A and B are shown apart, each in its own frame.
Chain A
Amino acid sequence: GNSVTQMEGPVTLSEEAFLTINCTYTATGYPSLFWYVQYPGEGLQLLLKATKADDKGSNKGFEATYRKETTSFHLEKGSVQVSDSAVYFCALSVDTGRRALTFGSGTRLQVQP
């Protein structure tokens, strides 16, 4: 089956620190990979995506590269801000069968001033 594993949180960083949130996956078929962000009290927002190996998704200073050889899609940002404090979900969808999203457990990021 399909599954996504994310690093346990919370991740606590000081403002302007470098961020990495690890995400690895297993999938039957050829997955598309996504990062979603959920701010307190809100729904999920699509942060970035990659649909094939070696694609790099990027948005708002966040980046993630689709690594097929390591089945990974780690989220990075060079300099975090307090406003980046949120829960980040890694997710995949395969191109066969249900095509519903499979989510990781989520990683809470807390950025301190």
Chain B
Amino acid sequence: DTEVTQTPKHLVMGMTNKKSLKCEQHMGHRAMYWYKQKAKKPPELMFVYSYEKLSINESVPSRFSPECPNSSLLNLHLHALQPEDSALYLCASSQGRLAGGKTYEQYFGPGTRLTVT
């Protein structure tokens, strides 16, 4: 099973709202990722968690707040977003430790399509 699930599938929120995106995997992967994808562009890395610790933050604005409650779950908390934050938000996971060993492929979820009004 190589499934990564994400909820919700679609989300519309106002600029003053607080919402959360959720991601789950049961493959025993120890690295999890958040990406942002705008239309007709490749995914852009936002955050990486390795063994439930935040290891990479790609200078993402603080209105995006990631959380990794356990090895299977990854959340992205959203607050005071701007219309330009509207995008497809993708979660991914992979085996292994980032600091050593071979490179493993990443498995992506179906994404949450976010619209900020």
Contacts and interface: CB of A to CB of B under 8 A. Distances in A.
Contact of A45 (B33, B43, B45, B108): B108
Q: Top 5 nearest A-B pairs by Cβ distance? A: A103-B42, A44-B108, A32-B103, A43-B108, A43-B110
Chain B residues touching A, majority SS:
loop
Interface residues of A, number: 23
27 contacts: A32-B105, A34-B105, A36-B108, A42-B110, A43-B4, A43-B88, A43-B110, A44-B43, A44-B90, A44-B108, A45-B108, A46-B2, A46-B106, A46-B108, A49-B105, A51-B103, A93-B103, A95-B103, A98-B48, A99-B98, A100-B56, A101-B45, A101-B106, A103-B42, A103-B43, A105-B41, A106-B41
Nearest to B6: A43
A43 B90 contact: yes
Interface residues of B, number: 24
Contacts of B48: 98, 100
A94 interface: yes
Contact of B98 (A32, A89, A98, A103): A98
A24 B43 CA distance: 18
